[in-house]
Amino acid sequence: EVRLVESGGGLVQPGGSLRLSCAASGFIVNGHYTTWVRQAPGKGLECISVMSTNGARVYYAESVRGRFDISRDDSKNMLYLQMNSLRVDDTAIYYCARGFADSGLNWGQGALVVVSS
């Protein structure tokens, strides 16, 4: 069974940093495209970062480019999102997800990040 479990969310002050982790099971992370998608309160879904199977291709949305960094530890089958210079408008639920079949995504349960002073 494919499973993704996010951790590391919480309350952080503007300008602070946070690292989200995503533990994957039931599949090998370096065999699939993996992505982080966020959802601000009451809003829609925004794909903020994608990593290819070999890690050579990485995408960042303009809203997070230069502040967020996606990475992966193949030995632990883990996906990470390092978030720096956090802003109030980064407040959201952050989901990690696995891509398959050129369109579908399997999702984790999400981690809440609140940026507030």
Partner 1 sequence: EVVLTQSPGTLSLSPGDRATVSCRASQSVSSTNLAWYQQKTGRAPRLLIYGASTRATGIPDRVSGSGSGTDFTLTINRLEPEDFAVYYCQHYDSSVPRYTFGQGTKVEIK
Provide DSSP, 73-98. ETTTTEEEEEE-S--GGG-EEEEEEE
For residues 111 and 93, give the distance between their C-alpha atoms in angstroms, rounded to a whole number. Answer: 5
Judged by CB under 8 A, the stretch of 14-22, 29-37, 65-73, 78-86 that binds partner 1 is 29-37
Here the tokens at position 37 are: 């998608």
Q: What is the closest distance, in whole angstroms, from the C-beta atom of residue 32 to partner 1 in the complex?
A: 12
Which residues, numbered 31-50, are part of the site for partner 1 (CB under 8 A)?
33, 35, 37, 44-47, 50
Q: Which is nearer to partner 1, 27 or 100 (CB)?
A: 100
Q: Is 43 exposed, middle or buried (0-12, 13-18, 19+ CB in 10 A)?
A: exposed
Q: Which of 3, 57, 65, 87 binds partner 1 (CB under 8 A)?
A: 57
Q: Which is nearer to partner 1, 59 or 78 (CB)?
A: 59
For residues 19 and 36, give the distance between their C-alpha atoms in angstroms, rounded to a whole number. Answer: 12
Q: Which is nearer to partner 1, 1 or 117 (CB)?
A: 1
Q: What is the closest distance, in whole angstroms, from the C-beta atom of residue 33 to partner 1 in the complex?
A: 6
Here the tokens at position 77 are: 């089958």
Interface residues with partner 1 (CB under 8 A) are 33, 35, 37, 44-47, 50, 52, 57, 59, 95, 99-110
